[in-house]
Structure 1
Amino acid sequence: MRLTLHTDYALRALIFLTWTTDRLASIREIATTYGISENHLVKIVHKLGQQGFIETVRGRNGGIRLARDACMICVGDVVRVTEEGLGSVSGAEKKSHAEEESSRTVPHSRFQSVVNRALVAFMAVLDDTRLSDLIFDEQRQMLGVMTSPRARCAKPDDDRCASTPAS
């Protein structure tokens, strides 16, 4: 499974916000830290705000922050929100010429079943991962960002994330 830069940048922004829980962060600050286009990051932050992962504060002293603790943000939920077409492989999709040629040698329904099982396993790992699990001391030191005392916390009693995006 290959994730897009959109997802990578969304996770980077969320990770950055775990280190700045004592204050509001700016999009410019995150973009500069990671070398990301501010315009692209604005779109990502907007989507993360709509889905309840972050809170945005407008105005002169505004900025962004996590909407909840990092241990309550499921990586699988973030990926579902930021990745398009993450659903199961559909037999009804239009096939390319190469796919049509390969379907003559490998039955499509068998291939579809294997890919769907792989996708379920992939998402199960992401669903078992919280944002707080992605924080590493080396990254904190490299970025020179203060670490939140709440950045690492125990997983909630319910180890499973919601199967739908955060609201």
Structure 2
Amino acid sequence: MRLTSFTDFGLRVLMRMAGSPDRAFTTAELADEFRVSRNHLAKVISSLSGAGYLETRRGGGGGATLARRPEDIRLGDVVAYLEADQALVECFQPGGAACTLTPHCRLKARLAGAEAAFLADLNRSSLADCVYRPQQA
């Protein structure tokens, strides 16, 4: 399974915030640290906020913070949420039936099982297991 860069940066944002839970992070600050565009990271942060993983405040002194304790954020749940619009294969998409093998396919169920196992394995870990603390200079 391959994760999108959107999910990759979503996990990075959460890990970084878990490493410094007492402070707010701005999109610009994280974009600079991760060397990614502000626009892309703003979408990631907005999605994480919409899912209830982050709280955001606008204006001076604003930024984003974790909305839950790292121990309460399961990695598989985060990945499943951020990858919700990314079907593993075409036939997993709503209305996806372009494959001529669909009526007799024996692969689809195995792929669905593998995807479920992948997420279940990730859910054995929480964000607390992956906290990132930058090196102090």
TM-score range, shorter chain: 0.7 to 0.9
- Could you tell me which runs of 5 or more consecutive residues in structure 1 were left unpaired when the two chains were aligned: 146-167
Q: Partner amino acid for 2:69?
A: D
Distance 1:90 1:81 in 2: 16
Give 1:87 shift. Answer: 7.7
* Structure 1 runs (4+) greater than 3 angstroms displaced: 85-92
Secondary structure of 1:21 counterpart: coil
Are residues 22 and 55 of structure 1, via their aligned partners in 2, closer, same or farther at CA, if it must alter by over 3 Å? Answer: same
Q: TM-score, normalised by structure 2?
A: 0.85
For residues 10-68 of structure 1, the C-alpha deviation after alignment (integer angstroms, 9 at most, x for no partner) is 01111111122122111111111111111100011111111110000122111110001
Distance 1:90 1:26 in 2: 36
Greater Cα radius of gyration, structure 1 or 2? 1
Whole-Å separation in 2 of the counterparts to 1:58 and 1:34: 21
Alignment partner, residue 164 of structure 1 = none
Runs of 5+ unmatched residues, structure 2 = none
Aligned residue among 115, 134, 137 for 1:140? 134
Aligned length: 133
Are 2:94 and 1:94 equivalent residues in the alignment?
no
Name the SS for the 1:16 alignment partner.
helix
Tell me which residue corresponds to 2:78: 78
TM-score normalized with structure 1 length: 0.70
